């Protein structure tokens, strides 16, 4: 019989250790080593030279064909995937519990089944009756969708080879187990080996796999970090599950851009696409209120208009309080220091609260000018014109630096009815005049503050 021994695996990088340590010696992360019992195996035999059938191919001799992507008929998802599903690819979808991962993939199965494509949905967490109840809420399904409740990868592999579907959904990877691995389902070894087995099926059979992954309290997919390196695409669902909207963000994509996002709204019948996120984010904007300004951020090729809110008031204690929601806290402190040093505003004794309305998180430097103007508007208690939008990066010298895709931002603002746009002078000089919207170029924050106040 094979002897069992204890190995400690790092949940962050997958490194192995014979004893527990507080810090992983490989990635230097703390408290990431977990204990697992594994079976010792015989050493691998040496490879005979006559058995080697691998062939070295020169790059110039490889012929490529244009990849055909499978459209899901969900425009937001197709955008994040880079145009659709690539055959033989593996997509990892992660997110908080209840965020809508299973619902989204079931909707994908519905649209693909309507096109006559053969789909296999494998669930290790729900029964067939539970999936049926959720499917009836989404809509009517065709016979092209098959369901399987199984966690044994050997059985799943045989069924996949027998049925040969075009798309396979695994819900979730933490419930799958390989009989050759002695540890329990969901452990580091099981997740790594299960993903490797599914990857071999995807590449060998040319079947696209979607696997759902649980996330930890830090917001990353549970299991070893090597899991994200193995798959082709990593998608994360963001947003508060108690709120109406969801954001699907591409973290890794071998077949497209990683800067695109998809915006969805959760409804009783499933997830609905939000085709105009800017209009959605600006809904309910107060009129005539100080400390509120509209800024523009870019997510991939999509400009998104959002409301930046600020509240500045004198502190009643010796140490002022600073809070940032939806943007980087340290960035807000940096911009307040720029206002105090370069503009002369005495904000050192003031509490400051900055919020990106709608709960969305944006860290692009282009919203710096929006944060600055919102802080000044609240500090001076002077509202900014509702038809004014701004964008630009602010440096430590108080200069307003250029940002990319300025013309697309201005066109999006014009489409939503804004009449004035404050932007960096460098970006304005490189643009042509756009009819219907007034462009105000500024070189530093003083110029921008002078204009709005």
Is 97 among the annotated ligand-binding positions?
yes
What pLDDT was estimated at residue 242?
62
Is 100 among the annotated ligand-binding positions?
yes
Residues ≥6 apart with Cβ < 8 Å to 67: 86, 87, 255
What pLDDT was estimated at residue 375?
96
Read off φ and ψ for residue 46, nearest 5 degrees: -70, 150
Note every long-range contact of 426-431, with CB atoms under 8 Å and residues 24 or more positions apart, other chains counting: 426/401, 426/402, 427/392, 427/402, 427/403, 430/402, 430/406, 431/406, 431/407
CATH for 280-452 (3.30.450.20, 3.30.230.10, 3.50.50.100, 3.60.15.10): 3.30.230.10
Q: Which residue has the higher pLDDT, 405 or 37?
A: 405
Report percent pLDDT > 90 for the chain. Answer: 53
On average, the pLDDT of the chain sits at 87
Rounded mean pLDDT, 378-393? 95
Residue 253: how many CA atoms within 13 Å on its side-chain side?
24
Is 96 among the annotated ligand-binding positions?
yes
Vertex 55: Cα angle to 54 and 60 (nearest 5): 145
Residue ranges per domain, the chain? 4-39, 69-275, 280-452
Q: At what angle do helices 128-138 and 101-114 cross, to 10 degrees?
A: 70
Is 219 among the annotated ligand-binding positions?
no
From residue 90, how far is each of 44, 188, 226, 263 by CA, in Å?
29, 19, 14, 22
Note every long-range contact of 156-163, with CB atoms under 8 Å and residues 24 or more positions apart, other chains counting: 156/122, 157/197, 157/201, 159/120, 160/120, 160/201, 160/205, 160/207, 161/201, 161/205, 163/118, 163/120
Q: Does residue 190 sit in helix, strand or coil?
A: helix
Residues ≥6 apart with Cβ < 8 Å to 37: 4, 5, 6, 7, 182, 183
Q: Does residue 271 sit in helix, strand or coil?
A: strand
**Cα separation, 154 vs 141, whole angstroms:** 28
What pLDDT was estimated at residue 46?
59
Q: Is the peptide bond before 172 cis (omega within 30 degrees of 0)?
A: yes
Tens digit of each residue's pLDDT (9 = 90 or more) over 426-449: 999 998 888 899 999 999 999 999
At 224, the pLDDT band (50, 70, 90 cuts) reads low
From residue 218, how far is each of 16, 95, 214, 215 by CA, in Å?
22, 11, 11, 8
Q: Which residue has the higher pLDDT, 233 or 318?
A: 233
CA-based torsion, 274, 276, 280, 283: positive or negative: negative
State pTM to two decimals. 0.77
**Cα separation, 443 vs 327, whole angstroms:** 24
Report percent pLDDT > 70 for the chain. Answer: 91
Whole-angstrom Cα Rg for the chain: 26
What pLDDT was estimated at residue 206?
92
Is 98 among the annotated ligand-binding positions?
yes
Pick from 197, 200, 150: nearest CA to 178? 197
Rounded mean pLDDT, 103-131? 93
- Residue 422 reports pLDDT greater than 90: yes
Read off φ and ψ for residue 267, nearest 5 degrees: -125, 175
At 210, the pLDDT band (50, 70, 90 cuts) reads very high
Pick from 320, 328, 282: nearest CA to 303? 282
Pick from 149, 81, 85, 82: nearest CA to 111? 85
Of 59-63, 134-138, 185-189, 366-370, highest mean pLDDT: 366-370
HEC per residue, 193-217: HHHHHHHHHHHHHCCEEEEEECECC
Q: CA torsion angle for 314, 315, 320, 326 (degrees, to 10)?
A: -60
**Cα separation, 192 vs 182, whole angstroms:** 13
Rounded mean pLDDT, 373-389? 95
Rounded mean pLDDT, 267-291? 85
Pick from 87, 228, 238: nearest CA to 166? 87
Q: Which token pair is 283?
A: 């809904």
Is 102 among the annotated ligand-binding positions?
yes
**Cα separation, 253 vs 236, whole angstroms:** 12
**Cα separation, 150 vs 174, whole angstroms:** 13
At 330, the pLDDT band (50, 70, 90 cuts) reads very high
From residue 354, how far is each of 44, 351, 381 by CA, in Å?
59, 10, 15
- Residue 382 reports pLDDT greater than 60: yes
Tens digit of each residue's pLDDT (9 = 90 or more) over 342-358: 999 988 889 999 999 87
Read off φ and ψ for residue 272, nearest 5 degrees: -115, 140
Rounded mean pLDDT, 351-380? 92
From residue 105, how far is each of 51, 102, 363, 405, 424 by CA, in Å?
42, 5, 28, 32, 42
What pLDDT was estimated at residue 57?
85
Pick from 279, 271, 246, 272: nearest CA to 261? 246
233-238 vs 420-424, strand pairing mode? unpaired
Superfamily of domain 69-275, CATH level 4: P-loop containing nucleotide triphosphate hydrolases (3.40.50.300)
């Amino acid at each position: 019989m094979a002897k069992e021994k204890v190995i400690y695996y790092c949940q962050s990088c997958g490194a192995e250790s014979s004893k527990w340590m507080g810090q992983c010696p490989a990635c230097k992360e703390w408290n990431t080593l977990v204990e697992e019992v594994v079976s010792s195996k015989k050493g691998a035999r040496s490879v005979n030279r006559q058995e080697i059938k691998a062939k070295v191919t020169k790059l110039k001799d490889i012929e490529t064909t244009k990849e055909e992507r499978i459209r899901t008929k969900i425009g937001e998802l197709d955008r994040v995937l880079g145009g659709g599903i690539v055959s033989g690819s593996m997509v990892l979808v992660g997110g908080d519990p209840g965020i809508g991962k299973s619902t989204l993939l079931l909707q994908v199965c519905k649209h693909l089944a309507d096109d006559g494509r053969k789909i296999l949905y494998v669930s290790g967490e729900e029964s067939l009756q539970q999936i049926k109840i959720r499917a009836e809420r989404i809509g009517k399904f065709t016979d092209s969708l098959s369901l399987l409740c199984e966690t044994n990868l050997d059985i799943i592999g045989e069924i996949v080879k027998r049925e040969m579907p075009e798309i396979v959904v695994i819900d979730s990877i933490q419930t799958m187990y390989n009989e050759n691995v002695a540890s329990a389902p969901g452990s580091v070894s099981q997740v790594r080996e299960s993903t490797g087995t599914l990857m071999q099926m995807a590449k060998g059979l040319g079947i696209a796999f979607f696997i759902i992954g649980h996330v930890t309290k830090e917001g990353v997919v549970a299991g070893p970090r090597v899991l994200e390196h193995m798959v082709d695409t990593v998608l994360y669902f963001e947003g508060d599950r108690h709120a109406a909207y969801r954001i699907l963000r591409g973290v890794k994509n071998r077949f497209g851009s990683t800067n695109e996002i998809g915006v969805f709204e959760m409804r009783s019948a499933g997830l609905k696409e939000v085709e105009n996120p800017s209009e959605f984010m600006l809904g309910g904007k107060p009129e005539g209120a100080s400390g509120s300004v509209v800024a523009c951020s870019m997510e991939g090729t999509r400009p998104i208009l959002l409301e930046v809110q600020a509240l500045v008031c004198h502190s009643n204690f010796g140490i002022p309080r600073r809070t940032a929601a939806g943007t980087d806290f340290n960035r807000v402190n940096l911009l307040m220091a720029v206002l105090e040093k370069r503009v002369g505003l005495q904000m050192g004794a003031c509490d400051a609260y900055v919020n990106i309305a709608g709960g969305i998180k944006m860290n692009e430097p282009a919203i710096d000018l929006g944060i600055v103007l919102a802080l000044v508007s609240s500090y001076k208690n002077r509202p900014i014109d509702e038809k004014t939008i701004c964008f630009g990066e602010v440096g430590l010298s108080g200069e307003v630096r250029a940002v990319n895709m300025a013309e697309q931002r201005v066109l999006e603002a014009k489409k939503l009815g804004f009449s004035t746009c404050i932007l960096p002078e460098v970006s304005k000089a490189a643009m042509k005049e756009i009819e219907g919207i007034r462009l105000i170029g500024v070189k530093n924050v003083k110029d921008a503050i002078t204009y709005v106040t």
